[in-house]
């Protein structure tokens, strides 16, 4: 009797398996009929993975240059307050149903697991919570255009250049999925994103078939010269020895130049967005912690406070790994992330500026809503370097580094980096 039951039950499972198999065969046949890019777009814009209703384009609207603005969030809330943007995991406190922060700043709750081991043996924790293994920071959704050339995905670069792994993390972080994405789905999402460019000239610099490889020997993207006198003056600020060009250099404008005090080719820096007095997120004290004992420990500057002032988001300091440098003689050097940040302040990936006039708001925390506010932030930053040695090009005797005329010139020049119209 028992074995009969077993037989029936097994036959049933077998039948279920067979029918499930034929459904999935059909699905994969449908999928095969499309190329991965088309299939990826479909997943990006409609696949919820049986989760909370969110899809990738919920936060990376393709018609809005791959990102979203506070205005967009407010429109959505007005028409559909139950819509997929408004999920408890991104509410003000992570457990409720109020979405003030999301509506005002279009930032999301990013929950980060702190590394159990770091290269230096030290970690960064909140000073009043040195045993906590996770932290929550609030960050904007960057554009997904031009990510084929990204070697450091995410504001802190933690996903490297791996669009497949990043897609899986994104599903887990935002979609509360009821099922795991398949490898084929993740590869299709990656292929689709790797096909998105703000400018056709950027696509043309890529090695066909090896999209994530930036090709040194291809003709590099040239910055436009500017047409009007104002644009031409704005262009000067992007020379490698000037205020913007020292950090926004190289073909994608996301590497330091040889005039940067710490060396050429660094992918991370600070815009001092965390130091500004009035930022969207609550600030905390962060301390070095000995990860063996969970006790506060002295960092490289001898104190356990990581930063000179409280900050909301320690940036790359929370990720495990090394920051690469180039020494004055050109030789490579590495330092553990969690030690580097203490010296320079919270560091973030230097984002590309191609397409940036269309992808407001700006900085990891969306603290600058317009390019004008970006430049106000840089005036705040350049104040920290009164001798002008770091703010290459600032007049040390001027009341602010960038005058109103400079700001107008830079912004009118930057319009030339806008997305190409299709
Ligand atoms: C709820 C909003 C939300 C959803 C849904 C979402 N993302 Fe994101 N995405 C973000 C945020 C916020 C970041 C930045 C987080 C960070 O830096 O820690 C980000 C970063 C990224 C980046 C890095 C871009 C860069 O230049 O570094 C990529 C690529 C990306 N998302 C792709 C996806 C994909 C693919 C999906 C769907 C599987 C997805 N996202 C779903 C909010 C979202
Ligand atoms: C010391 C290095 C440094 C200098 C100098 C610098 N930047 Fe940046 N820039 C960064 C970093 C790092 C970020 C990202 C910061 C963040 O997310 O908090 C950034 C972000 C930006 C963004 C936002 C892009 C986005 O998608 O969010 C814009 C626009 C920008 N910079 C323009 C400029 C201009 C214009 C100048 C010259 C006035 C300039 N930068 C000078 C390092 C620098």
pLDDT in tens, the chain (422 residues): 333 333 333 333 333 333 333 334 344 444 455 799 999 999 999 999 999 999 999 999 999 999 999 999 999 999 999 999 999 999 999 999 999 999 999 999 999 999 888 888 899 999 999 999 999 999 999 999 999 888 899 999 999 889 999 999 999 999 999 999 999 999 999 999 999 999 988 887 776 554 444 545 555 678 999 999 999 999 999 999 999 999 999 889 999 998 888 778 888 999 999 999 889 999 999 999 999 999 999 988 889 999 988 999 999 999 988 887 777 777 777 888 888 887 768 999 999 999 999 999 999 999 999 999 999 999 999 988 866 667 788 988 888 999 999 999 999 999 999 999 76
CA 368 to CA 381: how far, in whole Å?
13
- Which of the listed residues 68, 109, 154, 198 should we mutate to test ligand 1's pocket, taking the one with most ligand atoms within 8 A of CB? 154
**pLDDT given for residue 193 in this prediction:** 96
| Helix pair 229-236, 404-414: axis angle to 10 deg | 100
Angle, alpha carbons 207-212-218 (nearest 5°):
30
DSSP track, 44-92: HHH--TTSSS--HHHHSBGGGTTB--HHHHHHHHHH-TTSTT--GGGSS
Partners of 322 in the beta sheet?
Answer: 336
Domain boundaries, the chain: 32-91+109-214+224-417
**pLDDT given for residue 386 in this prediction:** 67
Is ligand 2 within 6 A of the CB of residue 392? no
Terminal-to-terminal C-alpha distance of the chain: 69
**pLDDT given for residue 405 in this prediction:** 98
**pLDDT given for residue 142 in this prediction:** 98
CA 409 to CA 407: how far, in whole Å?
5
- Indicate the helix (H) or strand (E) that contains 378: helix 371-382
CA 139 to CA 107: how far, in whole Å?
5
CA 419 to CA 414: how far, in whole Å?
11
CA 30 to CA 22: how far, in whole Å?
12
Q: Where does ligand 1 bind, in terms of residues with CB under 6 Å?
A: 54, 56, 58-60, 108, 110, 139, 141-142, 144, 147, 150, 153-156, 166-167, 170-171, 174, 189, 193
Q: What contacts 261, CB < 8 A, 6 or more positions away?
A: 389, 390
CA 412 to CA 361: how far, in whole Å?
17
**pLDDT given for residue 220 in this prediction:** 61
Q: What is the maximal distance between C-alpha atoms in the chain?
A: 96
CA-CA distances (angstroms) from residue 1 to 10, 13, 151, 349?
14, 18, 62, 66
316 within 8 A of 348, measured Cβ to Cβ: yes
- Which of the listed residues 37, 56, 162 should we mutate to test ligand 1's pocket, taking the one with most ligand atoms within 8 A of CB? 56
DSSP track, 127-192: TTBTT-SEEEEEEE----TTGGG-SS-STT-TTTT-HHHHHHHHHHHHS--SSPPPHHHHHHHHHH
- CA of 141 from ligand 1 middle (Å) equals 6
């Amino acid at each position: 009797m028992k074995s009969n039951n077993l037989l029936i039950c097994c036959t049933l499972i077998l039948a279920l398996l067979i029918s499930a198999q034929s459904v999935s065969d059909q699905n994969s046949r449908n999928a095969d009929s499309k190329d991965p890019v088309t299939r990826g777009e479909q997943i990006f814009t409609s696949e919820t993975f049986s989760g909370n209703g969110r899809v990738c384009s919920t936060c990376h609207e393709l018609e809005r240059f791959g990102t979203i603005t506070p205005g967009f969030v407010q429109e959505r809330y007005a028409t559909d307050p139950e819509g997929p943007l408004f999920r408890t995991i991104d509410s003000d406190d992570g457990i409720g149903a109020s979405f003030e922060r999301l509506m005002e700043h279009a930032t999301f709750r990013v929950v980060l697991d702190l590394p159990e081991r770091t290269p230096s043996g030290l970690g960064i924790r909140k000073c009043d919570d040195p045993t906590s293994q996770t932290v929550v920071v609030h960050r904007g959704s960057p554009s997904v255009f031009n990510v084929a050339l990204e070697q450091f995905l995410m504001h802190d670069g933690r996903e490297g250049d791996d669009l497949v792994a990043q897609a899986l993390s994104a599903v887990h972080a935002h979609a509360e999925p009821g099922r795991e994405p398949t490898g084929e789905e993740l590869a299709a999402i990656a292929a689709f994103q790797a096909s998105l460019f703000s400018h056709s000239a950027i696509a043309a610099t890529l090695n066909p078939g090896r999209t994530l490889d930036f090709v040194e020997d291809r003709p590099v993207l040239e910055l436009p010269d500017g047409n009007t006198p104002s644009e031409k003056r704005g262009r000067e600020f992007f020379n490698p020895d000037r205020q913007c060009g020292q950090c926004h250099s190289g073909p994608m404008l996301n590497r330091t130049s040889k005039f940067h005090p710490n060396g050429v080719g660094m992918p991370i820096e600070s815009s001092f967005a965390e130091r500004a007095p009035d930022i969207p997120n609550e600030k905390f004290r962060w301390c070095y912690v000995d990860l063996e004992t969970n006790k506060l420990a002295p960092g490289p500057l001898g104190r356990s406070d990581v930063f000179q002032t409280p900050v909301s988001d320690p940036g790359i300091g929370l990720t495990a790994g090394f920051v690469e440098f180039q020494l004055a003689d050109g030789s490579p050097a590495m330092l553990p992330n969690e030690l580097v940040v203490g010296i320079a302040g919270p560091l973030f990936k230097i984002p590309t500026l191609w397409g940036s006039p269309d992808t407001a708001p700006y900085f990891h925390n969306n603290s600058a809503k317009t390019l004008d506010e970006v430049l106000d932030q840089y005036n705040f930053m350049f104040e920290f370097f009164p001798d002008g040695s770091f703010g290459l090009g600032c007049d040390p005797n001027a009341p602010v580094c960038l005058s109103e005329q400079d700001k107008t010139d830079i912004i009118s020049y930057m319009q030339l980096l806008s997305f190409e119209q299709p």
